[in-house]
Amino acid sequence: MNRLQAFTGNPLDRAATLRRDPDWVRARLTDPASRFLVFRELRPMLLEGNHGLRIDWRPRPVCVDGAVLLGIDRDHAAHFAIETAEDAIESGAGNAPRFFDTRAAAGALPAEESAIVAQARSLLAWHRDHPICSRCGGPTKPVEAGYSRRCTRNGCRSTHFPRTDPVVIMMVVRGDRALLGRSVREPPFPPGLFSCLAGYVEPGESVEEAVAREVREEAGIETGRVLYHSSQPWPFPSSLMLGCFAEALSESVAIDRAEVEEVRWFHRNEVEEALGRCMEDTGIRLPAPITAAHRLARAWIDDEPRIRFGPGVEP
């Protein structure tokens, strides 16, 4: 855990065994010691203070339908997340709690609380988007305190689990240069923003194979060695970013215009300068510190011992 990224470091015990017991879950839902993280439209309710944001843990709401268990703390108090449509909860006056965009709030939350928010948002988004059984089309209901859904049709009774999509994100390096690009997407990248190449891992594909394929498809670059660096849950809605470094075996770029707008090589000094401008709106810059791309670039600039690829570098 010495490479903590944003949305990692969750301190709660997810209580995998306990949550299978419906009686235990029902008891925790009515326990005065239990706490609830309230969301509206997948935005968490947070408190803003002089030292940033904090989760506004609430006592049991009137209705607990749809609550998902996040885990138990060191005092064995249960923590849940729940989606609400109650407008009365939000207030912008003084230090009253209000609902924040998760991506915008992540950098202002303590690391462990950003991880809890990520877990909660991913679970609530999955429940919102999967009310119907994918096998028979029948209605499903939450079970195991929200960690699965079961079809209610007697002839089916299929169980469905939350989906996490693996994504490789890689800094392609060759000597003192790194390959960065601008993705074709909606909304578009702001002018001047570059990032690491990335893409979904396809069925039947290893992480190393996904790295090689994505770099070849998007930039026309052949790669050699792949080094895993660290991973990050990305709750938009629920991806797992697998951060890697890839050794470039060639330099000539041939981009796929359907995937990327621009790809170019940057010298180490340029990458360091782009990191320094990550929170600005002008100039060539890299994504914010909450992103895996920023973490990979920082590791390369800091010259972590294993990240040395290119001509003249011994494998």
Give the tens place of pLDDT for each residue, 35-51: 999 999 999 999 998 88
Q: What is the CATH number of domain 18-124?
A: 3.90.79
The domain 165-301 is classified under which CATH number: 3.90.79.10, 2.60.120.920, 3.30.465.10, 3.40.50.300?
A: 3.90.79.10
Q: What phi, psi does 29 have (nearest 5°)?
A: -65, -25
Q: What phi, psi does 145 have (nearest 5°)?
A: 60, 30
| Whole-number Å distance between alpha carbons of 140 and 133 | 6
If we measure between CA atoms, which residue out of 178, 150, 145, 156 comes closest to residue 268?
Answer: 178
Taking 70 as the threshold, does the pLDDT of residue 311 lie above it?
no
| Domains 18-124 and 165-301 belong to one CATH topology | yes
If we measure between CA atoms, which residue out of 97, 77, 85, 90 comes closest to residue 29?
Answer: 77
Which strand (E) or helix (H) includes residue 264? Answer: strand 260-267
| Residues forming a β-bridge with 166 | 240
Q: What is the DSSP letter of 17?
A: T
Residue that the structure tokens 């609380």 belong to: 113
Strand duo 43-49 + 52-55: pairing:
antiparallel
Q: Which two tokens stand for residue 284?
A: 């060539």
| Whole-number Å distance between alpha carbons of 144 and 50 | 38
Q: Is the peptide bond before 237 cis (omega within 30 degrees of 0)?
A: yes
Give the tens place of pLDDT for each residue, 113-150: 999 999 999 999 999 999 999 999 999 999 999 999 99
Neighbours of 305 (CB within 10 A): 5
Averaged pLDDT for residues 86-114: 80
If we measure between CA atoms, which residue out of 54, 4, 6 comes closest to residue 287?
Answer: 6
Taking 70 as the threshold, does the pLDDT of residue 87 lie above it?
no
What are the extents of the domains in the chain? 18-124, 130-163, 165-301
**Rg of the chain over CA atoms, in angstroms?**
22
| Whole-number Å distance between alpha carbons of 187 and 282 | 18
Give the tens place of pLDDT for each residue, 246-291: 999 999 999 999 989 999 999 999 999 999 999 999 999 999 999 9
Q: Is the peptide bond before 22 cis (omega within 30 degrees of 0)?
A: no
What global pTM score does this model have?
0.92
Q: Which two tokens stand for residue 138?
A: 């029948």
